[in-house]
Structure 1
Amino acid sequence: MTARCTVARLMRKMGLAGVVRGRTVRTTIPDPAAACPLDRVNRQFKAPRPNALWVSDFT
């Protein structure tokens, strides 16, 4: 048995690289021409004073 780090070091020294098989899956393709959705909930991201604006997420 040979340690993975030893094999990696020897391959790096010899200029070798492992083969990466398969394709990367691209799940989201952004559309820069798409319009931004409207702000229907009047989001306020600035609190007037400390502890005055609370946020939650239920997803």
Structure 2
Amino acid sequence: MDLTGARWRKSTKSGNNGGDCVEVADNLPGVVAVRDSKDPAGPVLTFDPAAWTRFVETTRRG
């Protein structure tokens, strides 16, 4: 998967916990990418945008 041009941002829920954060890139067409901020060159999980939206909405509801 080509993630060239991905604009990574930290989760607003990550807080100030010494860098243990999740980063999300949701600016690419047809994909949402997620990675560990401590390892930006490491593995990336990718999701269909609709699946990502369902995940975020579900976690917000608890």
Q: The TM-score by the shorter chain falls in which range?
A: under 0.3
TM-score by length of structure 1 reads: 0.17
RCO (CA 8 Å, sep 6+): is it higher in 1 or 2?
2
Tell me which protein shows more strand as a share of its residues.
2
